[in-house]
Structure 1
């Protein structure tokens, strides 16, 4: 059964989906006139501008909530996995995925505001299921339902619970010998206290924790890179050479072909920043703004922060220390080895601290994503039931080692992207029209 789902996972995350993901970004980049480059300074200014308009949370809080869900184990474990299997050249293809992904994320944020609505409790609801339904028409409702079902399954069984809890419990067990079962119950209690407070509670935690954890991690990775400053230029040389020629490395690394670098780099880049998957616009819809273009610009900074900054720093710290060539080092231990080579045991503890915060905030972000998908399908009456099941799933995370469920979750995660990308392409004339109208007014 595991073998079957692994094959299915490779099919879902194969060339067609990767081409659709990157192709959509390339198309939107061309039609929007390199907006992610030209308008990036304005986008960062908007993050801290005063909010004008109705919504549940500030634009900054919406971005922090979206970053809470995306800045996670993918930035530490995913980057290490990509470089280990695809060589340093994989980092170049992560940049490519992020560059075009910024245009995709802009489009998602714009549509999230344009087609958002209110639920029976007066809270904002938005995201791909709403811009499919209200933008493309009611005949496309099955596509919206397909997205919402995939979103709930990913929240319950994948990115939202088991994989994050397992990352936290295993890292704390390795570093401090804490019981995974006890840790998962404690996490569940803290998560319950926060998520039963709704989006305001989640966003309050996110807008404090996300900037803090990002700054700590950025400082730590910069220290690793700067203390290996003589390896920075060779590292970039390896990245660009490996992207197009493949890499043959010493130290037990068998060699990565260009195909692996491209596939692992793009797949992990998309997995890290979630551009095109349709998750971030669910948080963006709750922002206090009446201007879709402005929220689109703010949303695209999330991809820049997540991949261009944080993933790059992780990748460089692994490459400059040379640990990626060491046989037997993979995933989090690979990144941990890079930190330990500079800081010793304190470096390993610092990475554990960052990993715990990254994974915990991802749980919070995905609890909200799943909740909005649940509300779209079943209304607000049973929201407490959704939250209770979510907390139970978090608690179970330390008791289970279900590789099969993780593979299934990866499949459903990929399936989320399909209806969203169809909607982005179908609604691209509206995205372009709104963008031109906004900038022509100025």
Structure 2
């Protein structure tokens, strides 16, 4: 078995340099790298931030509406049995957004770029809210009816924008399904890491990967995933409506308590973040570019604005106006970064672990494991008598983050597959390969004691591919979003009929049963 996994890992060894080359382009080119600050910002980072700024200006700072109206939209009672509620869509989107990257990604950004990376993460998230608005409105505009459910997202609006060619949607759907399923094994690994940390802390000993304990965890995980996924999107939403608030409340609540316990360190946190954003420590390279690049990259990869990966959650919602879901998912970016990621940053920065000065653990050894660095930070900030209890709770949150992301990946793959075929047999096939192949595959690699590092690089490569596919579609589809937004502002969210605005959509039509109610 181990030889098979080693062969798989070696087969994908070519992925790592390709992924790094695309993500870092053109920062490795000597003349570009010599440019102050700009030379440390890769094209993907500039593209995502640049488009966020452009969409912010062109929508008249849509962020203002996101804050003012979204809560009312989410709390509104569902008036139809078709689709899921705005709140359900928000939770489904947050199931994906609020993943392990909110902990290890932010910890990694600070470990590489210093506390100042958090400041630039805030900046990127603010502008990313407008990008999330654009892609979510497009997802709503071109969603389609599937029984009592809606389906849609990147493949659906991509087809309509690019001349209504079916082969375009087929390609986009296949790319997205591949992206989602290849992310499953890494999330499975994160679930096991969390369970392992919890069991080790409680039992006081580490269990071998080949122990019966891990085999039981593998079986239970596969069974739970299969049970939820085979129940369809509505069952996934039902569970995400419970699990997402639980993980958010647990994580945010404990984090706030830790911050309050260390209240005198709050001024230190803001000083390090603001000063570090413009004058980073020498240990992190001593240049603004390092902090800026890390903050922007990790922030946008955490909230996923611009990747098109949350558009499936936006499409399945039943809204009165397509712009409502844009506002809902825009707020999701804010909550993900400004709240969850910031709380992670508070703990990591306040604990000083990133400086290697307070825990007695050498910096070079602890920074190798971001989850170890984070949990070490947590333990150093609470009284010794409750340190293990808090560690267990935060590890549980980490596991829930990974598990809900896992469910999100599998369900979004199913939604995307609806473009290829809505045959129950085909959808069953997609559910089966996700829950009964990719989840067990991730579990088996862990049981074999392997992490398949090269295979995980595929997810990084898939992320950037999604960005390069989605951003041009947002640019081409922007005029339609602007028309919908102008109508929303003019009518205060009144009845939207696409034909009245000069274009046709499948659902936003007059006198049709599938019209959003």
Q: Does 1:344 align with 2:373?
A: no
Change (3 A) 1:194 1:59: same
Q: Which moved more, 1:147-156 or 1:279-288?
A: 147-156
Q: Within 5 Å, which residues of 2 pair with 1:152-163?
A: 152-158=177-183, 161-163=184-186
RMSD: 1.8
Residue 394 of structure 1 corresponds to which residue in structure 2? 439
Q: Does residue 333 in structure 1 map to residue 372 in structure 2?
A: yes
Is 1:172 matched with 2:195? yes
Among 295, 300, 304, the alignment partner of 1:274 is: 304
Question: Which runs of 5 or more residues in structure 2 are unaligned?
Answer: 1-9, 25-41, 200-205, 208-212, 357-362, 446-450, 493-517
Indicate conservation of the 8 Å contact 2:74/2:85, yes or no: no
SS at match of 1:399: helix
Contact 1:12–1:415 (Cα < 8 Å) also in 2: no
> What is the CA–CA distance in structure 2 between the aligned matches of 1:127 and 1:41, rounded to whole Å?
25
What is residue 35 of structure 2 aligned with on the other side?
none
CA, structure 1 residues 324+145, in 2 after alignment: closer, same or farther (shift >3 Å)?
farther
Counterpart of 1:354?
A: 397
RCO greater where, 1 or 2, for CA within 8 Å and sep 6 or more? Answer: 1
Residue 180 of structure 1 contacts residue 399 of structure 1 at CA under 8 Å; is this kept in 2?
no
Structure 1 runs, 4 residues or longer, greater than 6 Å off:
none
CA distance in 2, matches of 1:180, 1:355: 18
Secondary structure, aligned partner of 1:13? helix
The alignment partner of 1:56 has SS state of coil
How far off its partner does 1:43 sit?
1.5
Cross-structure match for 2:267: 233
Write out per-residue CA displacement over residues 336-361 of structure 1, whole angstroms, 9 at most, x where no aligned residue: 11221214111211111101111111
- Equivalences for 1:353-372 in 2 at 5 Å? 353-372=396-415
Using the alignment, how far apart are the partners of 2:329 and 2:253 within structure 1?
A: 24
Hey, what's the Cα distance between the residues in 2 that align with 1:184 and 1:79? 28
Q: Identify the match of residue 172 of structure 2 among 141, 147, 157.
A: 147
Larger radius of gyration: 2
Could you list the per-position Cα deviations for residues 36-58 of structure 1 after superposition, in whole angstroms to 9, with x for gaps in the alignment? 13441211221111235673211
Matched, 1:190 2:224: yes
Give me the TM-score of the superposition, normalised by structure 2: 0.80
Q: What CA distance in whole angstroms lies between the structure 2 residues aligned with 1:436 and 1:64?
A: 27
Unaligned runs of 5+ in 1: none
1:9 is aligned to 19
Once the 2 structures are TM-superposed, how far is the Cα of residue 122 of structure 1 from its aligned partner? 5.4
Helix, strand or coil at the partner of 2:317? coil
> Aligned residues, how many?
434
Q: Map 1:387-426 to 2 at 5 A.
A: 387-391=431-435, 392-400=437-445, 401-426=451-476
TM alignment of 1:197-212, pairs within 5 A? 197-212=231-246
1:181–1:399 CA contact under 8 A, matched in 2: no
CA drift of 1:393 comes to 1.1
- Corresponding residue SS for 1:138: coil
Q: CA deviation at 1:232?
A: 1.2
The counterpart of 1:135, out of the listed 155, 161, 165, is: 161
Cα displacement (A) at 1:145 = 3.7
- Of the candidates 429, 449, 466, which is equivalent to residue 385 of structure 1? 429
TM-score (norm 1): 0.93
Q: Contact (CA 8 Å) 1:273, 1:303: kept in 2 or not?
A: yes
Partners in 1 of 2:149 and 2:252 — Cα distance? 35
